[in-house]
Amino acid sequence: MARTTAMGSRVVCVTATRGELGSPDPQRWPPGAPLAAVRTEELAAALGELGVREHIWLDYPDGGCGEVNEDEAAGRLAEIMEEVGPDTVLTFGPDGMTGHVDHKAVSRWTTAAVRRGRLSPAVLHFATNTPAHAAVLRQSLDDFAVMMDDGELPVTSPADLSVYLSVAGDLLSQKVRALLYQQSQTAPLIQGLGEQRFRDVVAEEAFRPAGADGS
């Protein structure tokens, strides 16, 4: 997003929930409305660091996206896409990247919205990892028991990627600064990993083309 906005292109970020239930420290960040307010401010600051000026909340319940009417959610996304007219849509794959039920739901909604046929220029891409980076990420997640369910990280051969960015230098520093604004999500991970290892964890962004059937 930072690289794209710096090139003068339009970036619109759509977020499904306020993350009000996922507190790593309930004493510091009480779940519910207090955490939702914190994360609203944190995300605004993070997106500001990246140069993203357009952000839309869907305001679905954290942990409850799997129960949301999929046609209604896909319809809301289709309306947003119709207004924006994107050429590129990036989202989770069917695996949800981390196996999270909300992430999987977002993938289904977004896929359905793009497939409605009104957005022929839009190309859909699913988040993934290269094998080398998955090994780095897997060890870090295992060591600190964060973000994963019992599933496996998605892995895609570099030859099969549609979007790939090895983040380094000033761009990586900018990304880390943005993530540092999201203390209620990143602070325990950074504390556990150390900043250099954290930089290694976030130094890759990889996406694969969505299949014709959304797989």
Domain membership flag for residue 214 = no
| Mean pLDDT on 33-49 | 97
Tell me the whole-structure pTM to 2 decimals: 0.92
pLDDT confidence tier of residue 136, bands split at 50, 70 and 90? confident
pLDDT confidence tier of residue 139, bands split at 50, 70 and 90? confident
Amino acid (1-letter code) at residue 182: Q
Is 146's pLDDT higher than 70? Answer: no
Residue 68 belongs to a domain with what CATH number?
3.40.50.10320
What is the number of domains present in the chain? 1
Is 93's pLDDT higher than 80? Answer: yes
Domain membership flag for residue 18 = yes
Q: When comparing pLDDT for 117 and 94, which is higher?
A: 94
CB contact at 8 A, 22 and 191: no
Enclosing domain of residue 51: 2-209
Domain membership flag for residue 73 = yes
| Mean pLDDT on 113-134 | 88
- Percent of the chain predicted with pLDDT > 70: 93
Domain membership flag for residue 126 = yes
